[in-house]
């Protein structure tokens, strides 16, 4: 700060210094002004320790200690998500202290956590009489490092669910692995998922009780995608799903007992991890790496171009954290696991022109995806001759947060126990149906907005969490959900006609109690209701809850074409030697519409196959 002031003329420096002492600092976190705090000494701050309460994914306490000239310590009390927010909580305070400034970019995929930390420290700076805006102007200076070459048996591009499944599997095959990841942490879209993983078990747990079977899972997946998915790939997905769950369990991952129906899942076959969101996958993969050598994580490194020699993919050229070139070579195979293109507005608009599936996919439609999901791997693969398939098959969900498009704030626990109503308080769609049908119906509703309506069966005390580790009490307090003792009061809070909301709930309850036996099936064709035999059936147990939702881009089903061995195919359907792919970067598995809960199954099943076959590849 002193160096900045010295560069100014004496007159301007004096004026700025005086203004800095007497300026008002406003705390935006609660949109309330802070009183003027004057630095009483000759330094930049009033020495001491100051505390700020902010909100990341959950409430966070930021405590900052100052000398008269520097930030000396930052402590955080938080419950951020392991593998997503926690790494930011560990790294960002040290960055701020080293920089002595606040001009640090939010971490992709953990923006809520990043911004909460920066806001909390800024608040403490203001309390200590410091110049917040001046600190925000201080940004890191990065010197470009020397170019670098690295080699491993298997190279994996992308540290999301599919990439990490491939990396761990390859390591279990006895191979050294380098994982290239353009962000600062593993996770990708899997880290933001609700965690549901579809798999029909071997009959020992739940499949028989719910009349499920691998063949039924195949039928629903294939027909649910309008029969556009490759039948052989669909068969591989469903037949290896339960083995994938058992593999995760063997690595230490824990699941709740029983199964449920995730939105658009069509049947009760989703297994729910104990850890919230997708964090359980990455805690499991990290625990494996902590106990086993041979996997090197290369973060903040962006893959740019696949290296092809004599027709064989042998590695990838990357840009490193400081702008230097990092060349990574594979003794065996390369696995492409970079995800889809849901955050690339230009690419998704062009793809939508193929099918005109959606009214628009421009920037007005948000996305559940992390900012890193921009189609990089698809572009790289096409550049070496890969065939792209079904790029126009793009999935939207009707469950986006109205502000961010994310799935956080979604209060539902399972399909059977909630309904959707529009701004008129009326149901408008089969809430147990396909995701594309639900979202298209939502586009036709006023302001393309709906409310999820449910009772307190899943939230008996209010301290219980949703599928994203958020308590319903916190969501209500933040204005992201609504709570009332009667449906009439709830209708008033969300601004819908009370008589319509009451009628919608009563009709749903009639079916939960076996109303279809009266010869009056649900008008929208819904068949999934809470069981009439259960104690908690229907929406009739106050308090009642509601949360607003909008359409959001969720999954791109098109991408690189692969075969059942996960080999990437060229435009003549021939394998490109040395190149394998898994996860959302691939296309042709899910067809026009992906069943809810099948994406995480996809990452595990095809990630494992890719890791195994890339390990076995020889030039």
Choice among 343, 348, 435, 549 that is catalytic: 435
The conformation of residue 188, written as its DSSP 8-state character, comes to G
* Helix/strand/coil for 182: coil
Task: Quote the DSSP letter at residue 255.
Answer: B
Output the CA–CA distances (angstroms, integers) from residue 613 to 151, 207, 281, 606, in the order listed. 18, 30, 22, 10
Q: Specify which residues 484 forms β-bridges with.
A: 544
Buried b (16+ CB within 10 A) or exposed e, 520-548: eebeeebebbbeeeeebbbbbbebbbbbb
Write phi, then psi, for 310 (nearest 5 degrees): 55, 40
- The number of residues in the chain equals 619
DSSP code per residue over 451-469: EEEE-GGG-SSS--B-TTS
Backbone angles phi, psi at 231, to 5 degrees: -55, -35
**Sheet of 559-561: strands edge to edge?**
388-389, 559-561, 586-587
Dist CA 455 CA 412 (whole Å)? 10
> Strands (DSSP E) along 412-522, which ranges?
419-421, 450-454, 482-484
Q: Which residues contact 112 (CB under 8 A, 6 or more apart)?
A: 55, 56, 57, 85
Q: Is 7 a catalytic residue?
A: no
Which of the 8 DSSP states describes residue 41? Answer: S
Q: What is the CA radius of gyration of the chain?
A: 26
Spatial contact of 267 and 284, defined as CB atoms under 8 Å apart: no
Rounded to whole angstroms, what are the CA distances from 273 to 49, 190, 244, 284, 417?
40, 13, 13, 11, 20
Exposed e or buried b per residue across 183-196, where buried means at least 16 C-beta atoms within 10 angstroms of its C-beta: bbbbbbbbbbbbbb
Asked whether the beta carbons of 186 and 160 are under 8 A apart, the reply is: yes
Between CA 542 and CA 436 the distance in angstroms is: 31
Alpha carbon distance 310, 288 (integer Å): 36
Distances (CA, A) of 609 to 167, 168, 233, 606, 614: 11, 11, 12, 5, 8
Q: What gap in Å lies between CA 270 and CA 262, rounded to an integer?
A: 7
51: nearest Cα among 63, 39, 37, 34: 63
Catalytic residue annotation: 435
């Amino acid at each position: 700060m002193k160096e900045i002031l010295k560069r100014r003329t004496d007159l301007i420096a004096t004026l700025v210094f005086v203004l800095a002492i007497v300026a008002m600092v406003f705390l935006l976190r609660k949109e309330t002004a802070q009183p003027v705090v004057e630095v009483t000494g000759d330094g930049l701050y009033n020495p001491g320790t100051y505390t700020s309460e902010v909100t990341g994914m959950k409430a966070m306490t930021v405590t900052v200690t100052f000398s008269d000239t520097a930030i000396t310590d930052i402590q955080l009390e938080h419950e951020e998500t392991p593998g997503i927010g926690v790494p930011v909580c560990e790294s960002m305070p040290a960055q701020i202290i080293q920089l002595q400034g606040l001009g640090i970019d939010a971490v992709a995929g953990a923006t809520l956590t990043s911004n909460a930390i920066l806001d909390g420290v800024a608040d403490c700076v203001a309390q200590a009489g410091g110049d917040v805006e001046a600190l925000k102007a201080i940004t890191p200076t990065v010197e470009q490092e020397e170019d670098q070459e690295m080699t491993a048996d298997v190279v994996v591009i992308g540290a999301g669910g599919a990439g990490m499944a491939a990396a761990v599997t390859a390591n279990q095959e006895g191979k050294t692995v380098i994982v290239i990841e353009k962000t600062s942490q593993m996770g990708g879209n899997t880290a933001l998922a609700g965690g549901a993983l579809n798999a029909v078990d071997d009959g020992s747990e739940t499949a028989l009780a719910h009349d499920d079977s691998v063949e039924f899972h195949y039928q629903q997946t294939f027909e649910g995608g309008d029969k556009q998915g490759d039948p052989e790939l669909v068969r591989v997905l469903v037949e290896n799903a339960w083995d994938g769950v058992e593999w995760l369990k063997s690595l230490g991952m824990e699941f709740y007992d029983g199964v449920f129906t995730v939105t658009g899942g069509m049947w009760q076959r989703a297994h729910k991890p104990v850890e919230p969101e997708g964090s359980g996958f990455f805690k499991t993969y990290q625990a494996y790496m902590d106990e086993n050598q041979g996997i090197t994580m290369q973060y903040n490194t962006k893959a740019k171009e696949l290296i092809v020699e004599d027709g064989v993919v042998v590695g990838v050229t990357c840009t490193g954290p400081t702008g230097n070139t990092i060349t990574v070579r594979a003794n065996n195979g390369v696995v492409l696991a970079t995800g889809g293109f849901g955050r690339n507005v230009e690419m998704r608009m062009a793809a939508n022109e193929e099918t005109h599936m959606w009214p628009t996919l421009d920037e007005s439609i948000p996305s559940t995806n992390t900012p890193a999901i921009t189609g990089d791997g698809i572009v790289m693969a096409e550049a070496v001759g890969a065939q792209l398939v079904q790029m126009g098959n793009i999935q939207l969900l009707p469950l986006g947060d109205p502000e961010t498009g994310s799935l956080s704030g979604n209060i539902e626990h399972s399909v059977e126990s909630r309904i959707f109503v529009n701004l008129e308080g009326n149901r408008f769609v089969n809430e147990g149906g396909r995701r594309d049908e639900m979202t298209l119906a939502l586009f036709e509703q006023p302001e393309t907005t709906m409310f999820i309506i449910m009772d307190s069966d899943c939230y008996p005390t209010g301290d219980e969490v949703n599928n994203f580790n958020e308590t319903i009490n916190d969501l209500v307090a933040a204005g992201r959900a609504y709570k009332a003792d009667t449906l009439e009061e709830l209708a008033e809070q969300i601004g819908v006609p009370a008589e319509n909301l009451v009628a919608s709930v009563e009709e749903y309850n009639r079916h939960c109690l076996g109303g279809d036996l009266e010869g009056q099936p649900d008008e929208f064709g819904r068949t999934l209701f809470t069981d009439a035999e259960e104690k908690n059936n229907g929406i009739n147990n106050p308090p009642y809850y509601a949360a607003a939702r909008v359409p959001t881009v969720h999954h791109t089903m098109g991408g690189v074409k692969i075969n059942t061995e996960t080999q990437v195919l060229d435009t003549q359907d021939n394998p490109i030697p040395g190149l394998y792919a898994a996860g959302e970067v691939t296309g042709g598995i899910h067809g026009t519409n992906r069943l809810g809960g099948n994406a995480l199954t996809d990452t595990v099943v095809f990630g494992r196959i890719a890791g195994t076959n890339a390990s076995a590849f020889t030039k």
